[in-house]
Structure 1
């Protein structure tokens, strides 16, 4: 089934604006569940990168702190 979905939607392409013909409407609960899984995997990937490249991760944290310090509300 994932192979069929990849054929319909090219990777990196824009998301379709409306429902795809022949595909049932996605419920809000299903969309939230998929989003939660995606965010969990993204966090896991960031933690892994921080462990594998500690110097780069520390530099990124410092840059983020400087950005937040200089941001004006």
Structure 2
């Protein structure tokens, strides 16, 4: 993980929160990748449904 520059003006609490959020998002992505490898058919159905939602979304 790249170090967060201290000159960003963020408090230590905010930096800690950002670090924890980044770790959570990394773990979430790893879990999704694992689930996709275990159940490829479900992953394909989920991708198709997501694409349909994007295609039918109107601003």
In the other structure, the counterpart of 2:55 is 69
- Structure number with larger C-alpha Rg: 1
Unaligned runs of 5+ in 1: 1-25
Q: Pick the structure with more helix per residue.
A: 2
Provide the secondary structure at the position in 1 that maps to 2:50: helix
How many residues get paired? 48
Which has the bigger relative contact order, CA under 8 A and spacing at least 6?
2
TM-score in terms of structure 2 length: 0.79
CA RMSD of aligned residues (A): 0.9
